[in-house]
Amino acid sequence: MNEAASANRLDLILYPSGAPLPSGIEAHVVGGASATVKLDAGVLSAYVSVPDRTRAEIRWIVDQLVRKIAALAEFGSATLRAAKTGASETGPPVDDDTLVTLGLDLHHRTCGDIKLVERSDLQARVDRVGLLEDCFRTWVNEDPGRRTSVAIARDVSQWAAGYPDVTVEVMADRTLASHGLRLLLAVGRGSTVSPPRLVIARYRPGGSDRAPLMLLGKGITFDTGGINIKPYEAFVSMMKNDMGGAALAFALFRGMVEAQIETPLVLVIPTCENSVDSNSMRPGDLIKSYRGSTVRVDHTDAEGRLVLADGLAYASDMYRPERILCFATLTTSALNAYGPYATPVHFADPELQKSLRNASERTGEDLHFFPERIWHYEANRDREADLRNTAHLPGDATRAAGSRNAAHFLRHFTDLPLCHFDIFGSAWNWAGDAPGAGYGATGAPLRTLLAALGT
């Protein structure tokens, strides 16, 4: 941000739909919203009539306006408030959830220099969740030569040192081999920069022995595709984002611990780099998993489900969690089938689905729910091995089923309640216009998860 930009401040005032706006330069805004803008002494006053739409759409519409304002006169700080309108106004008042989620978007655009006027209660939530989203986004955006498996293990351990109820174990090559986590070892054996690690952090408030909630995150620090190397068209230049699941799981774990929740937690991050080397796993390799089933490597670019499978099975046996939430940039199909803003959510039970749906409506992050289905489960079977890492439904039915098939691969590795989030499309700003996000990571769907879990 240059000095001229930082000298300006955006004052964003939200009006109910249909309310008359103060005079100013009219700004064209999509989606039925209207806006006027004034610039006076370094203050950009933007008056916006909030349309009667979903909160996800409101986020996008308001962000389009903010982008247009920034193109005319950049700003380095912002204030946000709901206008005080008379009782005669017909539109519904701007609610607190809208203020919070727009405040979070401005938090990222202004690098934290955002104030919610006369709302210290909402300000505290924006500050807290904003810092957690910053952590998530920073990990994903960092150079993959720095954000390695070793760095992930180090940073989790260093953070945990400040919390007496949190312990961390880092399993490296020999320990992984002795426990039989051969899928994780196979994926990472071509990299010396980011070798295989299984990072496990336990939060036991007051030494609780209750069954924990398990947060599992895919930590492929860079994905070349392996010997089946990714073409440029498959986003290989952006594959530092393939550890987005690990970043999301850690940020969520951190937020819940810092909130001192009473529920025990276990964070599980299988992490490594999927590199190209003479030691790399090969198409056709038959590998015995931790759980005992053999997996044929049909394609080396379907590596995420392999590391998750071993981490999932091992931690399920060791900690017997009451529920498992799994996060992974698992399939390009999630982007192709559901678009750049949506997160496919697999296997959520009715109670969890209700909590997630309500939270996503409040935060403006789209989730799409899919149940367990036997044909996707069986699609992972193989002739040579028990399973293969590229599931196929019969004939043309394989199209657009990648996210569901991959999720059902994981179902083979635990009998415990599992909910899987395929964040490939939503966690990265593919379209370039994700609200509040610049190039790179978006922070989605962390704010929804925090809201759904009561933190």
Instruction: Point out the residues that are catalytic.
Output: 230, 305
**Calpha distance 274→220 (Å, rounded):** 7
Cis peptide before 51 (omega within 30 of 0): no
Query: Residue 241: how many CA atoms within 13 Å on its side-chain side?
Result: 25
Answer yes or no: are the C-beta atoms of 73 and 8 closer than 8 Å.
yes
Burial of 82 (0-12, 13-18, 19+ CB in 10 A): buried
- Here the tokens at position 232 are 């440029």
DSSP 8-state class, residue 221:
E
- Within a 10 A sphere around the Cβ of 81, how many other Cβ atoms? 16
**Calpha distance 228→314 (Å, rounded):** 28
Q: What is the CA radius of gyration of the chain?
A: 23
- Here the tokens at position 130 are 């904003």
* Nearest CA among 423, 447, 430, 402 for reference residue 344: 423
**Calpha distance 280→275 (Å, rounded):** 7
DSSP 8-state class, residue 278:
T
CA-to-CA separations, 135 to 170, 244, 254, in angstroms, rounded: 21, 11, 10
Number of H helices, E strands in the chain: 14, 18
Residues forming beta bridges with residue 200, ordered by sequence position: 169, 268
Residues forming beta bridges with residue 169, ordered by sequence position: 200
DSSP 8-state class, residue 429:
-
Residue for token pair 């931790």: 290
**65: which residues sit within 8 A by CB, 6+ positions away?**
27, 29, 33, 35, 46, 48
**Calpha distance 353→16 (Å, rounded):** 30
